[in-house]
Structure 1
């Protein structure tokens, strides 16, 4: 029954009607306010309710908690006791107290520790402290260094955790340690470091909050002539355990000096390197880029093959691996990378000096084709760039690169240099391997570069100036050398030598003479007395003819006939054989201006069988100063497999020796005056030399580099004999294997592997 308004007014009082109207108007805010008040009341009551004590609650089913009952004067209570934490290996990641301190705000405290029995090391340490204080305290970032005698300090105060200080102070440890043949405090110190690392009750790397550390050892080579026999053994032990305790914070390589000869000189070198690292920390707040060392040389012996897949960095005291972006790197067979490069925005207008040069068909005069716009050979956003950097290359500019090889790392660790040391006296740790052109006109089946570098028959890219390339490759090389400073086995003296480039191998990847300004680039090398070893592929005769003298000029001779060359080098030029023959003629013309070399890479099944006579014909045509014969190294890449190359194509060293003997006999039958001069069995490489370098029955294949620069700077004409070096070492001559003493020691330990 429905009531009219005036009827409701008669039934309900006016006040009730007003309340109903008010409720309909404000019902939603009222409901929300009430709900909120109830929730607040519920939370308040929950917080005021007493909680059940953990000791009175049932035990959780966790193996790390053990319930033990202990009885005291008040009764029996159940008490929870945590079981000891089990260390399963690895380094616990810690957050340094100074992590959030910006560079320039943190205070760096250098602590110098020493041990001395006779007082000699103490005297040296105090003099070292005076110099260190003068060099560092000029900057407000550094606190005054402190000197501590290991005989008087409590190890727990410094070598379990760093000293307690305000959050803005960070510590850097230096240790100056002698080695004795009697028990001293150092024996206890080494034992303490070892026990600290192995103690399950504490972190395996309790000193990881340090900025870094470095060790210098004093020894006597008369008592211990070699490291294996004990030279600086205690310093080496401390260096190893400190690497473990600090989480691999070796900031500078272990230095060692002979107290009776070169200790002062080696200490000065080491101090300079340490100060450079400290200044870098002060500027950036971090240790910098570097390959971290494990602290145990034995643990890093398997680091050769894949160590350049990524760069390991120190970033805010944390070890970080810089990984390449996962982009397609399928540029294995590129005759024209224009399609890929077209996606790049890198382009510019060039002047007439950078016109495109057509190398497709050989002629005395190359044709210049005008081009309005050119692109970069290897843009930063291209798959080619990603593939090469992943392999360990540092790309300089748009078409150049630099990389250190495993022999450089081997030489830094005292394990021998490559065949160039046996043949020509080049120490690998002072050699820079680079190229001004990453592009090549061949796609050789044995190429080490995985087919990822660009290829082409014309230069159609931006041309970077030679001074920019020269400075860039040097900086890239030194950067990679510095990344080795934390690797176990690297010594301070070899590290210091490596920071002075003396040789440059222009053979990294691509074709060096392809670069339009190659002469200007080699001139810059020679100006700084850096020798030049240039390798070309015998496909650019005009550029080869225009090349000014280098220290040693190589031409790759990979086959003795047209068909074999087509199969093994897979050249892009249609007239590749004509180009090849012309390059041999040019090399013959240059044989009295500079040292010339034929480089033969033997690939079983391609260019070994029944080709000795054909190679002898090529040698007769070019008359090089030397012929290097090397067995191919198989890289195991898909590109090699696609070309038909497998491990079955890698010749044994005995097969290479047999080929060389057959080739030498063929040269003898032609009366050309060559002989087998030297070998390097570990590189599977043998050297045949012209009798021009045989003096009184002794081979002189090495180079007098200073004499070469004197001849070059004189402006007069000179011949290769004018800078012929000393006699080839007896251990490097044919029949002796070519293994230097350091390599023999490593070989005896089973550490040498084939190149």
Structure 2
């Protein structure tokens, strides 16, 4: 349960709470589209989503990890699910309405094309990645179904830390749809580094992560499976060989290497020296490509992201 002080802080940061446990925010790249800056995020560049029509949200403000590099305020996270469970359709409707209210102020900007703006107000891409761990929401597969079936979304991306494989296994069984892209985030290269860097609430989650990877290797014909590795200087960028076993276990359709950014609340836990230069992200990606047989297929320097693929 969030305190009033925590709610106020989130509001000032342009988050909007929806129902008992969901949250939405308009991302930087969507704002750039609205302002006619001719800039799009890496997801449009790599996967042809509509950046200006992106709804970035999470059905779970809470998370079961307290990662050092997380730019969110981890003080709002709790160790378990404590809220009344909201209906998926009501969550999506509430997020769409809150997003519209957040964006309506752009209408007075002289740089905004009003015809495009009206289109941007209608989202067709969901990024279930804003904060927290989405798999903690008990009705997540239904939420993905509702995006497609009730609101006619074109694409739905899910980002998970992989600690709840039992939820991932419900897609296709308790739901009609898989997410268009199913991301799994990874920073640690062994159990010890995981405990120190990701600070899990439970001690058994490292094994759960391996189980999720193994499961994701079986659904490559259903969805794009993406291993996202956050490259953190002086932590994991000298450990490329240690990531090979995870790539072999998960067999992702894509790998994304994203350079850590010294942003938000992570500045209280990390140092600027942990931020890699772009050329260092490239070198790390090349090393992984050589070790795994994957090829570098896309890059987006403004987001410090490089994509590898076997497709």
TM-score normalised by the shorter chain: which range applies?
Answer: over 0.9
* 1:284-295 map, 5 Å: none
Partner of 1:533: 157
* 1:482-497 map, 5 Å: 482-497=104-119
Cα displacement (A) at 1:547: 2.7
Query: d(CA) in 2 for partners of 1:383 and 1:535?
Result: 28
Q: CA RMSD in A?
A: 1.4
Q: Does 2:35 align with 1:428?
A: no
Q: Verify the 8 A CA contact 2:72 2:264 in the aligned structure 1.
A: no
Higher helix share: 2
Q: Deviations over 1:205-236 (max 9, x none)?
A: xxxxxxxxxxxxxxxxxxxxxxxxxxxxxxxx
- Normalised by the length of structure 1, the TM-score is 0.39
Partner of 2:73: 450
Query: d(CA) in 2 for partners of 1:382 and 1:463?
Result: 20
Q: Verify the 8 A CA contact 1:564 1:607 in the aligned structure 2.
A: no
* 1:376-387 map, 5 Å: 377-378=1-2, 382-387=4-9
Cα displacement (A) at 1:465: 1.6
Q: Does 2:277 align with 1:657?
A: no
- Normalised by the length of structure 2, the TM-score is 0.93
Q: Verify the 8 A CA contact 1:554 1:599 in the aligned structure 2.
A: yes
Distance 1:636 1:550, change over 3 A: closer
Partner of 2:40: 417
Query: d(CA) in 1 for partners of 2:220 and 2:160?
Result: 16
Listed as ranges, the gaps of 5+ residues in structure 2 are: 173-177
* 1:395-414 map, 5 Å: 395-414=17-36
Aligned residues: 303
Q: Deviations over 1:667-686 (max 9, x none)?
A: 03xxxxx2110000111100
Q: Verify the 8 A CA contact 2:71 2:264 in the aligned structure 1.
A: no
Whichever of the two has the greater Rg, that structure is 1
Q: Verify the 8 A CA contact 1:597 1:627 in the aligned structure 2.
A: yes
Query: d(CA) in 1 for partners of 2:105 and 2:158?
Result: 26
Cα displacement (A) at 1:382: 2.6
Query: d(CA) in 2 for partners of 1:447 and 1:426?
Result: 25
* 1:130-529 map, 5 Å: 377-378=1-2, 382-415=4-37, 416-456=39-79, 458-527=80-149, 528-529=151-152
Query: d(CA) in 1 for partners of 2:248 and 2:164?
Result: 21
Q: Verify the 8 A CA contact 2:165 2:212 in the aligned structure 1.
A: yes
Q: Does 2:295 align with 1:666?
A: no
Q: Verify the 8 A CA contact 1:533 1:554 in the aligned structure 2.
A: yes
Q: SS in structure 1 opposite 2:106? A: coil
Q: Does 2:188 align with 1:551?
A: no
Q: Deviations over 1:540-593 (max 9, x none)?
A: 111111134111101111122112222221111111211111111111122222
Query: d(CA) in 1 for partners of 2:184 and 2:7?
Result: 27
Higher relative contact order (CA 8 A, sep 6+): 2
Cα displacement (A) at 1:636: 5.2
Partner of 1:624: 252
Listed as ranges, the gaps of 5+ residues in structure 1 are: 1-376, 669-673, 693-755
Query: d(CA) in 2 for partners of 1:444 and 1:547?
Result: 26
Q: Verify the 8 A CA contact 1:558 1:602 in the aligned structure 2.
A: yes
Partner of 1:580: 209
Q: SS in structure 2 opposite 1:596? A: strand
Q: SS in structure 2 opposite 1:589? A: coil
